């Protein structure tokens, strides 16, 4: 019996994972995401071609231009970029230190992109705006300037106390890249602030020091010790865990249903039943698609873990959560997979399956949709009750264990026991329907007919 | 000899329809049994119960000395009436899968698959996908799948339906080889001529009940023909005058001569002598017993109207025109 089940598992698994649809539809997406995660920092770090050009500036106020000459200088831009990079590296280092991943600490100075070399061309305040703009189009499609900055005459002084400070207008040529525009805007902003502070006799560094307050991560104090919370991650984890559970169950269950319908409609099922018992066939199919689902979940979890490692944040993930995910996936898959297998055996073509599939999909979508809310309020009465009502209990409990306020261990145990009971019941039901339905052709059955089959078998 | 198959009081109903009623059947090892009857008689249901694909409502069965086919699946070959393959699978992979499910080793299954396909003129198909084969080729592949494990019990449900004459001949040769190897064969068909040719024992099923279980040779003796096929030496002879002879019931003209139906209790030898004495023969013979005639006589009785007999014959030939062609 085991030998035959193993043979069926092997065939079903390989037939699914080697199909073009599976490779393209299921595996390519996480692989592409993984590639983006791994390559994006390298692409962003890569040195692009050096940007050189001129920026025309009309300074109606007259105090901004000297400051802009400083803030737009390539050395100053490089200094700002270096400061940013160091700040980000410090955050990563801090996380790596706190999560014990010392090997992730970057030892060397961060790399920065070369600064654009932007030369300022001063234009008098009375310059005709249209003529100045024409220089951005240029002759023969080659613009004379990359950008035109028109600084208003009220940028450093307010007309009255009720009005804001004035600003500037920025006109750009099509040759100006988004990245260089961003540098220009940043330099302008700093130049404007510096000019305003100077006019008010204030010292910029003093103001910055006085207004900066570092926001620490909250420290969660528990009986097992103290650990730093990462609210963004704990908020996202219940949703991510629910999504993975949903995806795994849908992928495995859907393939179970369609492959059974195909075997039935192509009449190969009777040939198979001559070589294997219905139960062997059913378990072979269930286990094979369980493997397929685990592969999918594994690929997504693996991509997630690699991404966390890439950003030196792996230590923030509690490994027992992956264990819970696997256990809850197994139980949820058996419940929903068995139901979808029974539907596949009961109908003759996919179109007939829709009426039976509807209730199952609702039972699958409701708990999935609830997971973010349960994750936000893991110990609310509704969340606790939901973790004991099959079949939504598995989704609800996974969302709770993934939250930052996990439930007591006994509740997890009870949910698992209910999950095992539900899985046994649905597999028993599916086995009955499978045995009768496989050789039934003709009018597709309704739920009442399925119950009659279960009594017959 | 012990029985390869033993059915006792088997019953099976689908809702209000009784598909099989009190079916008893004993098939000894090495025998070839023909299971015949019109479409819908219950042949396939009986076979599915033998294969433990369906389970009887009551009654017992033993297959190859086991309580059910589930315990002896590796020793049984089965070609179902409704045939199917994995269309995207390659022929060699399909046969390997079926062979290994039945307990064969990879090497043995691969060697036998190659040898059998070569015999059936399908050596080139080994690496092709099933969906790339014609219907006839697929049927031959499915037959190979049924005998890939050298089964002790081979069950063939309408094996020739849809096949061209050349394929029918090739398959008959392979069935004969399986007989010689010692396999017990159950052969279900509604094409009586195939059963006459291949089977030692005939089991007739009608409306779920067994109406006959007898050796083919005995049937020929028991259901003696009461028709003389006559071809005159002189093509202009008045054949209708034969109707006046004693014991002759009816004369029906044919292209070559005529068929002479004998009255009940007429000695065929005496009638033949009388016919030869009246008109010089080019050929005279007793028509061989036909299973179809036996079936009709068993089910409808001698006194049945010609309309009801005609309807029964039509049902026996079934809607499966391909089967008739084969």
B193-221 mean pLDDT:
83
Token pair recorded at residue A50: 């050096």
Cα nearest neighbour of A438 on chain B: B53
Q: B240: burial class by Cβ within 10 Å (0-12, 13-18, 19+)?
A: exposed
A246 and A107 in one domain?
no
Backbone angles phi, psi at A129, to 5 degrees: -60, -40
A324 and A199 in one domain?
no
Instruction: Say if CB A69 and CB A77 are below 8 A apart.
Output: no
Say yes or no for a CB contact (<8 Å) between A270 and B53. Answer: yes
The three-point CA angle B226-B230-B233 to 5° equals 160
Q: How confident is the model at residue A230 (pLDDT cuts 50, 70, 90)?
A: low
Say yes or no for a CB contact (<8 Å) between B84 and A273. Answer: no
Q: What's the pLDDT score for residue A413? A: 92
Shortest distance between the Cα of B35 and any Cα of chain A, in A, equals: 19
Range of weakest confidence among A41-50, A107-116, A324-333? A41-50
Cα A51 to chain center, whole Å? 34
User: Looking at residue A126, which CATH number applies to its domain?
Assistant: 3.40.190
Contacts of residue A275 in chain B, CB cutoff 8 Å? 73, 98, 101-102
Which of B14, B68, B81, B82 should be substituted to probe chain A, the one whose Cβ sees the most A Cβ atoms within 10 Å? B82
B185 SS3 class: strand
A137 and A250 in one domain?
no
Q: How far apart are CA A411 and CA A407, in angstroms?
A: 7
Give me the total of CB pairs closer than 8 Å, taking one residue from chain A and one from chain B. Answer: 58
A78-88 mean pLDDT:
86
Range of weakest confidence among A68-82, A97-111, B58-72, B234-248? A97-111
A180 and A237 in one domain?
no
Q: What's the pLDDT score for residue A312? A: 63
The β-bridge relationship of strands B201-206 and A219-222 is unpaired
CB atoms closer than 10 angstroms to residue A128: 9
User: Tens digit of pLDDT for each residue in B190-199?
Assistant: 777 788 788 8
Q: Alpha carbon of B20 to those of A11, B45, B131: distances in Å?
A: 36, 7, 36
The β-bridge relationship of strands A225-228 and A219-222 is antiparallel
Check whether B305 has a pLDDT greater than 70: no
Token pair recorded at residue B176: 């004969």
- What is the extent of the structural domain holding A385? 230-456
Residue A106 placed within a domain: yes
Query: Strand order of the sheet with strand B58-63?
Result: B17-28, B3-14, B58-63
> Is B80 at the interface with chain A, CB within 8 A?
yes
A288 and A166 in one domain?
no
Which of B84, B94, B138 should be substituted to probe chain A, the one whose Cβ sees the most A Cβ atoms within 10 Å? B84
Q: How confident is the model at residue B319 (pLDDT cuts 50, 70, 90)?
A: very low
Instruction: Say if CB A151 and CB A57 are below 8 A apart.
Output: yes
Q: What's the pLDDT score for residue B217? A: 76
Contacts of residue B76 in chain A, CB cutoff 8 Å? 274
> Is B75 at the interface with chain A, CB within 8 A?
no
Residue A34 placed within a domain: no
> Is A263 at the interface with chain B, CB within 8 A?
yes
B285 SS3 class: strand
Q: What is the DSSP string of B202-252?
A: EEEEETTEEEEEEEHHHHHHHT---EEEEEESSTTS-GGGGGGSTTEEEEE
Q: Alpha carbon of B200 to those of A354, B43, B176, B310: distances in Å?
A: 50, 18, 12, 27
Residue A433 placed within a domain: yes
User: Tens digit of pLDDT for each residue in A414-440?
Assistant: 999 999 999 999 999 988 888 888 877
End-to-end Cα spacing for chain B: 34
Shortest distance between the Cα of B72 and any Cα of chain A, in A, equals: 10
Instruction: Say if CB B185 and CB B156 are below 8 A apart.
Output: yes
Domain count for chain A: 2
Of B76, B78, B84, the CB nearest to A268: B84
A119 and A206 in one domain?
yes
Q: How far apart are CA B230 and CA B245, in angstroms?
A: 14
A110-116 mean pLDDT:
81
Angular region, A328: left φ>0, alpha ψ -120 to 50, beta rest: alpha
Long-range residue pairs from A383-386, CB within 8 A, at least 24 positions apart, any chain:
A384/A411
B45 SS3 class: helix
Residue A250 placed within a domain: yes
A246 and A196 in one domain?
no
Q: Which of A189, A216, A243 is the last residue of a domain?
A: A216
Contacts of residue B73 in chain A, CB cutoff 8 Å? 274-277
Closest CA to A98 of A220, A228, A216, A214: A228
A209 and A235 in one domain?
no
> Is B101 at the interface with chain A, CB within 8 A?
yes
Q: What's the pLDDT score for residue B184? A: 93
Q: How far apart are CA A231 and CA A94, in angstroms?
A: 16
> Is B100 at the interface with chain A, CB within 8 A?
yes
> Is B15 at the interface with chain A, CB within 8 A?
no
A212-241 mean pLDDT:
68
Q: How far apart are CA B22 and CA B9, in angstroms?
A: 4
Q: Indicate the helix (H) or strand (E) that contains B76.
A: strand B76-79
CB atoms closer than 10 angstroms to residue B271: 21
- Best-predicted range by mean pLDDT among A162-166, A282-286, B85-89, B266-270? A282-286
> Is B83 at the interface with chain A, CB within 8 A?
yes
For B65, which DSSP code? Answer: T
The β-bridge relationship of strands A147-151 and B153-157 is unpaired
Q: How confident is the model at residue B324 (pLDDT cuts 50, 70, 90)?
A: very low
> Is A6 at the interface with chain B, CB within 8 A?
no
> Is A452 at the interface with chain B, CB within 8 A?
no
Residue A117 placed within a domain: yes
Mean pLDDT of chain A: 83
Residue A270 placed within a domain: yes
A365-378 mean pLDDT:
83
A407 and A276 in one domain?
yes
Shortest distance between the Cα of A456 and any Cα of chain B, in A, equals: 10
B80 SS3 class: coil
Say yes or no for a CB contact (<8 Å) between A439 and B87. Answer: no
Q: How confident is the model at residue A225 (pLDDT cuts 50, 70, 90)?
A: low
Contacts of residue A4 in chain B, CB cutoff 8 Å? 101
A236 and A202 in one domain?
no
Three-state SS for chain A is: CHHHHHHHHHHHHHHHHCCHHHHHHHHHHHHHHHHHHHHHHHHHHCCCCCCEEEEEEEECCCCHHHHHHHHCCHHHHHHHHHHHHHHHHHHHHHHHHHCCCHHHCCCCCCCCCCCCEEEEEEECCCCCHHHHHHHHHCECCECCCCEEEEECCCCCCCCCCCCCCCCEEEEECCCCCHHHHHHHHHHHHHHHHHHHHHHCCCCHHHHHHHHCCCCCCCEEEECCEEEECCHHHHHHHHHHHHHHHHHHHHHHHHHHHHHHHHHHHCCHHHHHHHHCCHHHHHHHHHHHHHHHHHHHHHHHHHHHHHHHHHCCCHHHCCHHHHHHHHHHHHHHHHHHHHHHHHHHHHCCCHHHHHHHHHHHHHHHHHHHHHHHHHHHCCCCHHHHHHCCCCCCHHHHHHHHHHCCCCCCHHHHHHHHHHHHHHHHHHHHHHHHHHHHHCCCCCCCCCHHHHHHHHHHC
Q: How far apart are CA A107 and CA A94, in angstroms?
A: 13
Half-sphere exposure of B121 (CA within 13 A, CB side): 10
Q: What's the pLDDT score for residue B73? A: 84
A143 and A282 in one domain?
no
Q: How far apart are CA B49 and CA B170, in angstroms?
A: 29
Q: Alpha carbon of B106 to those of A285, A374, A415, B128: distances in Å?
A: 22, 52, 45, 19
Of A15, A269, A277, the CB nearest to B84: A269
Residue A44 placed within a domain: no
A224-231 mean pLDDT:
60
> Is A15 at the interface with chain B, CB within 8 A?
yes
Backbone angles phi, psi at B229, to 5 degrees: -90, 120
Q: How confident is the model at residue A301 (pLDDT cuts 50, 70, 90)?
A: confident
Backbone angles phi, psi at B248, to 5 degrees: -95, 125
Q: Alpha carbon of B14 to those of A161, A318, A344, A453, B60: distances in Å?
A: 93, 56, 22, 11, 18
Token pair recorded at residue B209: 């009940």
A104 and A251 in one domain?
no
Q: How far apart are CA A188 and CA A182, in angstroms?
A: 10
User: Tens digit of pLDDT for each residue in A303-360?
Assistant: 778 777 766 666 666 778 888 888 998 999 999 999 999 898 888 888 888 888 888 8
Q: What's the pLDDT score for residue A7? A: 92
Q: What's the pLDDT score for residue B323? A: 32
pTM (two decimals): 0.67
For B200, which DSSP code? Answer: S
Half-sphere exposure of B193 (CA within 13 A, CB side): 8
For B318, which DSSP code? Answer: -
Q: How far apart are CA A49 and CA A42, in angstroms?
A: 16
Contacts of residue B87 in chain A, CB cutoff 8 Å? 266
- Residue B321 or B302, more confident: B302
Q: How confident is the model at residue A222 (pLDDT cuts 50, 70, 90)?
A: low
Q: Alpha carbon of A399 to those of A53, A332, A371, A383, A407: distances in Å?
A: 54, 14, 5, 9, 10
Percent of chain A scoring above 90 in pLDDT: 21
Q: Alpha carbon of A164 to those of A60, A198, A237: distances in Å?
A: 17, 17, 43
Q: Which of A160, A187, A216 is the last residue of a domain?
A: A216
Q: Which of A216, A245, A275 is the last residue of a domain?
A: A216
Shortest distance between the Cα of A274 and any Cα of chain B, in A, equals: 6
> Is B145 at the interface with chain A, CB within 8 A?
yes
Residue A1 placed within a domain: no
């Amino acid at each position: 019996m085991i030998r035959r089940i193993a043979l069926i598992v092997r065939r079903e698994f390989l037939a699914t994972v080697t199909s073009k649809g599976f490779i393209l539809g299921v595996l390519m997406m996480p692989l592409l995401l993984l590639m983006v995660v791994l390559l994006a920092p390298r692409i962003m770090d890569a040195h692009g071609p050096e940007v050189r050009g001129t920026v025309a500036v009309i300074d109606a106020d007259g105090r901004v231009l000297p400051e802009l000459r400083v803030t737009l200088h390539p050395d100053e831009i490089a200094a700002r970029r270096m400061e940013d990079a160091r700040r980000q590296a410090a955050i990563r280092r801090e996380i790596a230190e706190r999560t014990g991943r010392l090997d992730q600490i970057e030892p060397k100075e961060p790399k920065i992109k070369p600064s654009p070399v932007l030369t300022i061309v001063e234009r008098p305040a009375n310059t005709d705006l249209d003529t100045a703009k024409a220089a951005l189009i240029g002759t023969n499609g080659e613009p004379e300037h990359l950008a035109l900055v028109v600084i208003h005459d009220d940028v450093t002084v307010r007309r009255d106390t009720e009005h804001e400070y004035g600003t500037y207008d920025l006109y750009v040529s099509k040759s100006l890249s988004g990245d260089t525009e961003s540098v220009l805007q940043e330099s302008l902003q700093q130049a404007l602030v510096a000019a305003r502070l100077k006019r008010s006799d204030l010292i910029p560094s003093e103001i910055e020091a006085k207004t900066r307050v570092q926001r620490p991560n909250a420290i969660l104090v528990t009986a097992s010790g103290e650990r730093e919370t990462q609210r963004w991650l704990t908020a996202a984890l219940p949703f991510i865990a629910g999504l993975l559970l949903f995806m795994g169950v849908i992928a495995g269950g859907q393939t179970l249903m369609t492959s059974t319908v195909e075997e039935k409609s192509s009449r190969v099922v009777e040939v198979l039943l001559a070589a294997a018992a219905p139960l062997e066939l059913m378990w072979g199919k269930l286990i094979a698609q369980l493997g397929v689902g685990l592969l999918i979940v594994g690929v997504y979890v693996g991509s997630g873990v690699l991404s966390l490692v890439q950003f030196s944040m792996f230590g923030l993930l509690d490994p027992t959560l992956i264990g819970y995910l696997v256990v809850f996936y197994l139980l949820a898959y058996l419940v929903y997979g068995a139901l979808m297998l029974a539907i596949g055996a009961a109908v003759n073509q996919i179109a007939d399956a829709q009426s039976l599939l509807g209730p199952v999909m609702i039972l699958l979508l409701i708990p999935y949709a609830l997971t973010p809310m349960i994750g936000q309020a893991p110990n609310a009465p509704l969340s606790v009750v939901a973790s004991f009502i099959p079949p939504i209990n598995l989704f609800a409990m996974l969302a709770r264990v993934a939250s930052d306020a996990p439930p007591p261990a006994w509740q997890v145990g009870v949910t698992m026991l209910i999950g095992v009971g539900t899985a046994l019941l649905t597999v028993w039901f599916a086995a009955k329907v499978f045995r009768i339905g496989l050789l039934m052709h003709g009018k597709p059955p309704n739920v009442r007919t399925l119950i009659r089959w279960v009594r017959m078998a | 000899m012990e029985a390869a198959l033993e059915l006792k009081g088997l019953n099976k109903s689908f809702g209000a329809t009784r598909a099989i009623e009190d079916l008893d059947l004993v098939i000894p090892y090495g025998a070839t049994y023909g299971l015949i009857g019109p479409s819908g008689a219950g042949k396939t249901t009986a076979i599915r119960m033998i294969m433990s694909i369906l389970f009887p409502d009551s009654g017992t069965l033993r297959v190859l000395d086991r309580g059910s086919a589930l315990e002896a699946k590796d020793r049984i070959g089965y070609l179902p009436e409704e045939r199917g393959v994995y269309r995207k699978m390659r022929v060699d992979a399909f046969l390997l899968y079926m062979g290994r499910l039945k307990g064969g080793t990879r090497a043995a299954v691969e060697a036998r698959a190659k040898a059998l396909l070569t015999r059936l003129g399908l050596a080139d198909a080994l690496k092709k996908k099933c969906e790339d084969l014609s219907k006839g080729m697929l049927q031959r592949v499915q037959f190979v799948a049924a005998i890939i494990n050298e089964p002790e019990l081979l069950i063939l449900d309408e094996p020739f339906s849809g096949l061209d004459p050349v394929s029918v001949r090739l398959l008959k040769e392979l069935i004969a080889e399986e007989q010689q190897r010692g396999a017990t064969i159950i052969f279900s068909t509604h094409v009586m001529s195939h059963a006459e040719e291949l089977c030692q024992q005939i089991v007739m099923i009608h409306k779920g009940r067994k109406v006959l279980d007898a050796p083919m040779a005995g049937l020929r003796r028991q259901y003696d023909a009461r028709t003389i096929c006559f071809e005159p030496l002189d093509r202009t002879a008045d054949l209708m005058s034969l109707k006046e002879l004693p014991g002759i019931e009816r004369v029906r003209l044919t292209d070559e001569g005529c068929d002479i139906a004998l009255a009940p209790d007429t000695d065929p030898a005496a009638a033949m002598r009388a016919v030869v004495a009246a008109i010089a023969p080019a050929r005279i013979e007793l028509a061989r017993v036909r299973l179809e005639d036996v079936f009709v006589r068993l089910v409808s009785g001698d006194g049945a109207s010609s309309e009801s007999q005609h309807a029964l014959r039509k049902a026996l030939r079934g809607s499966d025109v391909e089967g008739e062609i084969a």
